[in-house]
Structure 1
Amino acid sequence: MPLDAWSLLKASLEGDESGTSILSIDKTTKKFEFILRNKLFDTLEFGFDLNSFLTKKIENSDYSRELIYKTDGTILESHFGKFTVPEESKNKEYTKFCIKDITAKQRQEEDIAWRLRFEIGVASSIQILIQQPSIREGLPHALYQLLYFTEMDSIFYLKYEPIESQTRFQIWVNERKSTKYPLLPKECQNSDWYELGLSRWVHKLKKEKTIHLTKERALAREKWFFDQTQAETLLLIPVLFENQFLGVMGFLKYKPNTPIKQENLLIYQTVSRWMGLFVQRDLDLTEINRYKSTLESLVLERTLDLTKTKEELERAYRAKTEFLAHMSHELRTPLNSIIGFSKLIQIPDSDKTGKEYLNYIYTGGTRLLNMINEILGLMKIESGQIKIQLTTFKPEDLCRQTLELIQPQANAKGMDIRFKPPSQSKNLTSDSGKIQQILLNLLSNAIKYSNQAYIEFDCHWDSDNLTISVRDFGPGISEEDQNRIFHTFTRLNDDGNIEGTGLGLSISQGLAVRLGGHIELTSQIGQGSNFKLKLPELIK
Structure 2
Amino acid sequence: MLSPIKAKLLIVDDLPENLLALEALIKADDREVHKALSADEALSLLLQHEFALAILDVQMPGMNGFELAEMMRGTEKTKSIPIVFVSAAGREMNYAFKGYESGAVDFLHKPLEIHAVKSKVNVFVDLYCQRKALKEQLEALERSRQEQELLLKKLQATQNELEHAVRMRDDFMSIVSHEVRTPLNGLILETQLRKLHLARDNADAFTLDKMRGMVERDERQIQSLIRLIEDMLDVSRIRTGKLSIRPSEFDLVNLVGNLLDNFAPQVAAAECTLSLHASEPVVGTWDEFRIEQVVANLVSNALRYGGRGPIEVSVYAHKGTARVEVRDHGIGISKENQARIFQQFERVSATHVVAGLGLGLFISEQIVVAHGGSITVQSALGEGSTFIVSLPL
After TM superposition, the score normalised by the length of structure 2 is 0.48
> Between Structure 1 and Structure 2, which shows a larger proportion of strand residues?
1
Which one has a bigger Cα radius of gyration? 2
After TM superposition, the score normalised by the length of structure 1 is 0.36
> Between Structure 1 and Structure 2, which shows a larger proportion of helix residues?
2
Greater relative CO (CA pairs within 8 A, separation 6+): 2
